[in-house]
Structure 1
Amino acid sequence: MDKNISVHFRHWVFIDDVKFFGPGRVELLERIAETGSIVQAAKAMGMSYKKAWAMVDHMNTHGQKPYVITHKGGQQGGGTELTETAKNVIAAYKRLDARLQEVISTENEIQALI
């Protein structure tokens, strides 16, 4: 019987043994960039605003520089944007992810043994 065997993984960046950055935060930041709103980004992910805000606050507090800047309401209606730091971290994380995916896709030893 033929079986479709594949290896999957997820990876995170830790700061002082605390999970800091990974696939969920990448998605949250990308959705914030798309929508200009933490509320809309959270809604699109099926996440509470409280959880999304806690994630943003954690990144802003524990990163070397802030990742997200919020603008208060007013005539423009406020909004949220990513900093260059956030954009650079997302790009670096995606480059790392692509390299790791490449290693996994070329590693057939485990698949042959199963």
Structure 2
Amino acid sequence: MKKKTFRVRCWIDIDGEKFFGPGRAELLSHIETTGSIAKAAKAMGMSYKKAWDMVEEMNALGQKPYVVARKGGEKGGGAEVTATAKAVVAAYRKLDDKLQALVARNEALLKLI
């Protein structure tokens, strides 16, 4: 018998373009944990450039910045996730949890397929 599963991914679009989803939520969590965009990118197996581009896009399209980056220097650089970003990640995860619970409650549909 073939294995059947539901897959649900939630994205927030702005003007028809993907703005926020599971990857960006994960990136922000890694930035918060490591204090670094470069370290967050490495943890996710993506290039620093891609991570930086994602951060710049979130900062540009969001109502307020999501990440504040500090350039290197005597104390070194780093990045800080803003309160806005933390609230968005928390709300996104809450929504995703609800979606996953809904999917789990409807697994019986797979038996019909």
Listed one character per residue, the Cα deviations across residues 28-86 of structure 1 (whole Å, up to 9, x for unaligned) are 11111111111111111111111111100000000000000011223221210100000
Match of 1:61 in 2: 60
Q: Secondary structure at the match of 2:92?
A: helix
> Please, what TM-score do these two structures have when normalized by structure 1?
0.92
> Please, what TM-score do these two structures have when normalized by structure 2?
0.93
When structure 1 is superposed on structure 2, of 104-113 and 87-96 the one drifting more is 104-113
Q: Secondary structure at the match of 1:81?
A: strand
Instruction: Give the Cα–Cα distance (whole angstroms) in 1 for the partners of residues 84 and 90 of structure 2.
Output: 10
Instruction: Give the Cα–Cα distance (whole angstroms) in 2 for the partners of residues 50 and 73 of structure 1.
Output: 17
Contact 2:19 2:58 in 1 (8 A): yes
Higher relative contact order (CA 8 A, sep 6+): 2
Match of 2:89 in 1: 90
Residues 1-114 of structure 1 mapped to structure 2, 5 A cutoff:
4-114=3-113
Instruction: Give the Cα–Cα distance (whole angstroms) in 2 for the partners of residues 7 and 77 of structure 1.
Output: 45
Residue identity opposite 1:71 in structure 2: R
Structure 1 outlier segments of 4+, above 6 Å: none
Residue identity opposite 1:87 in structure 2: K
Instruction: Give the Cα–Cα distance (whole angstroms) in 2 for the partners of residues 46 and 101 of structure 1.
Output: 25
Q: List alignment gaps of at least 5 residues for structure 2.
A: none
When structure 1 is superposed on structure 2, of 35-44 and 71-80 the one drifting more is 71-80
Instruction: Give the Cα–Cα distance (whole angstroms) in 2 for the partners of residues 100 and 40 of structure 1.
Output: 30
- Percent of aligned pairs sharing the same letter: 58
Q: Secondary structure at the match of 2:23?
A: helix
Q: CA RMSD in A?
A: 1.3
Aligned residues: 113
Residue identity opposite 2:73 in structure 1: G
